[in-house]
Structure 1
Amino acid sequence: MTMLSPSIDASISRIAPDFRALSITVKGTQVENADYAARMLKEACVSAQETDYPWAQAHIEAWGDAFRQFGAKPNRTPCSAAALRKRVLKDGAIPSIDPIVDIYNAISIRYAIPVGGENADAYRGRPTLTVADGTEVFDTVKNGEPATEHPDAGEVIWRDDIGVTCRRWNWRQGVRTRIDSQTRNMWFILESLPEMPLDYLHEAGQEMIKHLKVLMPEAVIEETVVCATDKP
């Protein structure tokens, strides 16, 4: 497995010049301790309701502003963190899906941060955050059947050499690169704007790595910070 190294296109600096993210690559093993992941997810749901960070809501709102910069309507297609937290505040919890998915959802909920989790072996080329021209291919599901879409021209997307892996920055993930129970090699991206203090971005990353080590004690994990500009 080649550890994925994401690229941030220069066009992103015009939309969110202070965007920064933590990239985590995992060369994993068989997942253990599934009950642990479900417990961490439950605890994160409680924390978002009872002991939220003072900057959390401002960070969610900043993502809404960023989405508006490229023509998205965050009330209809919110960032992934906003969608998760809305469900938690409404229902009190979200259901367990899969140990790895539970962990990155827990980090997203606790820290009010969009977190993407991808099957690294399904990638072709580097993950790239860029602005779509509208011709790119996005594989999804409609009415239970495989379907193909194209992003809007000007939409912020994650993509690789084959096509779009996530539409509207972090709104909807494609099918091809999703993590499932057989995935062993993974790539995660924790995406933040300046309303989230940088120290907390690093804290979120360290907490996620700690949880992943519980699930996969022999995993090889690497992390790097990536930015829309050269500023840290």
Structure 2
Amino acid sequence: MIEDVRVDPEIFELRPDFAVLVMTAYGLRNGPADDRSRAWLEEASSHAVRQEKIDPWREAYRAFGAKPQRTRPSVDALTRRLPLPEINLVVDAYNSVSVKHVLPIGGEDLRHYQGAAHLMRAAGDEPSEEALGTPDAGEVIWRDDAGVTCRRWNWRQVVRTRITEETTDALFLLEGLEPLSLEELKEAGEELADLLIRITPDIRVETRLIVSGR
């Protein structure tokens, strides 16, 4: 599955500095937030918000016609919700890493995913959940074979693929723009894998880095 994830060339034309670390975790035993995940959230919430890492995402949104003050990049929205809210163990893990490293992270339940993840610019007629509405032509979206999974790059995810306490197999998309370095992107992935292993020691984790030109 991980090798089938696609990023269209038009995305790199829009932002040549874009990189995404794709991670899958199989055999998760998720559950409600506990003292461990509360500590992760508290520690992440104590980090100073680095505006220089959020501004490139606002610029990327403007580049495809979105207004980042109205539909904020996910990491921008998260840093405005400090202290971070409790959701469940796995979501708390990736939200804490997202805020600590100031990068968007998407989490998807692979049982409800159809086909491979695909980052592209929308035609404007892609199937989407009613609450999210149909994407605008040219908008950056993640999608699978069934339709939109996340609108406006990383603004809002559909309900269909959200990670819940029943999720056992998951896909994570760690997205970076400069000045976030590839080294820090990989470090964030290693930290997320470590937290997931603390939740479920015997999980199988796979990663793949996608950057411009390869």
TM-score range, shorter chain: over 0.9
Residue type at the aligned position of 1:10 = P
* Structure 2 unaligned regions, length at least 5: none
Partner of 1:209: 193
Residue type at the aligned position of 2:97 = I
Q: 1:87: Cα distance to partner?
A: 2.0
Partner of 1:83: 77
Q: How far apart, in 1, do the equivalents of 2:171 and 2:185 lie?
A: 17
Is 1:230 the counterpart of 2:208? The answer is no
Question: Are 1:130 and 1:157, in contact at CA under 8 Å, matched by a contact in 2?
Answer: yes
| TM-score (normalizing by structure 1) | 0.87
Partner of 1:110: 100
Residue-pair matches, total: 213
Match 1:137 to one of 127, 130, 135: 127
Q: How far apart, in 2, do the equivalents of 1:76 and 1:182 lie?
A: 32
Map Cα deviations across residues 94-137 of structure 1 (whole Å, 9 max, x no partner).
22111111111101110110000000111111100000011011
Question: Are 2:24 and 2:205, in contact at CA under 8 Å, matched by a contact in 1?
Answer: yes
Question: Are 1:140 and 1:175, in contact at CA under 8 Å, matched by a contact in 2?
Answer: no
Question: Are 2:3 and 2:208, in contact at CA under 8 Å, matched by a contact in 1?
Answer: no
Question: Are 2:104 and 2:174, in contact at CA under 8 Å, matched by a contact in 1?
Answer: yes
Partner-residue secondary structure (3-state), 1:139: coil
| TM-score (normalizing by structure 2) | 0.94
Is 1:9 the counterpart of 2:3? The answer is no
Partner-residue secondary structure (3-state), 1:94: coil
Report the RMSD for the aligned CA atoms in angstroms.
1.6
Partner-residue secondary structure (3-state), 1:41: helix
Using the aligned pairs only, state the percent identity: 40
Partner of 2:116: 126
Residue type at the aligned position of 1:114 = P
Equivalence map 1:23-62=2 (5 Å): 23-31=22-30, 34-47=34-47, 49=48, 56-62=50-56
Residue type at the aligned position of 2:149 = T
Is 1:181 the counterpart of 2:180? The answer is no
Q: 1:34: Cα distance to partner?
A: 3.5
Partner of 2:149: 165
Partner-residue secondary structure (3-state), 1:43: helix
Match 1:64 to one of 55, 58, 62: 58
Partner-residue secondary structure (3-state), 2:78: helix
Q: How far apart, in 1, do the equivalents of 2:181 and 2:9 lie?
A: 23
* Structure 1 unaligned regions, length at least 5: 142-147
